[in-house]
Amino acid sequence: MIRYALSSFLVALSVADLAYAVSMTTHSYAVYPVHYCTPIITAATMALVAVLQFYNKKKGLRTSGPLFMFWFCLALLGAVAFRYQIRAAQSDTPSDPYYFHISYILFYMVVLAQFILTFFIE
C-alpha cells in the first residue's frame, strides 16, 4: 500500500512540475522544452511502475527483479543529479527558481524510499 502511495506521489510531483513550467511560460519566463518533456516522461514511467506493482501483487509475486533493478539504477544514477541540486541550491546566485531544486530533492527522497522498500516483502 505504501508503494502505491509513493508511486502516486511521484506521478503527482511530475504533473506539478509540468504545471509549474506552464505557469512560468504564461508569466513570460524562459522555459526550455526539457521542462515540458521530462515531467511527461517521468509521469508515464511512474504510472507504469504503479501498474507493474499492482500486477505483481495480483499475480502473487513477492518481489520483482525488474522493479528492483529500476529503483537501483534510478537511485544510483540519481545521486549525481541530487548532489548537483544540493550544491546549486546552496550557491550564492541560484540560476533557477528554487522550485526545481526542491522538486528534485523530494523526488530523490521518494526514489530512495521505494528502493529501500524493494527489500521488504509486502
Contacts of residue 38, defined as CB under 8 A and 6 or more positions apart, other chains included, come to 17
Q: pTM of this prediction? A: 0.88
The pLDDT score that the predictor gives to residue 28 is 80
What band does 89 get if pLDDT is binned at 50, 70 and 90? confident
**pLDDT surpassing 70 at residue 36:** yes
Distance of CA 65 to the CA centre of its chain: 20
The pLDDT score that the predictor gives to residue 99 is 84
Q: At what angle do helices 2-26 and 34-59 cross, to 10 degrees?
A: 160
Position with higher pLDDT, 108 vs 35: 108
What band does 97 get if pLDDT is binned at 50, 70 and 90? confident
Position with higher pLDDT, 91 vs 77: 77
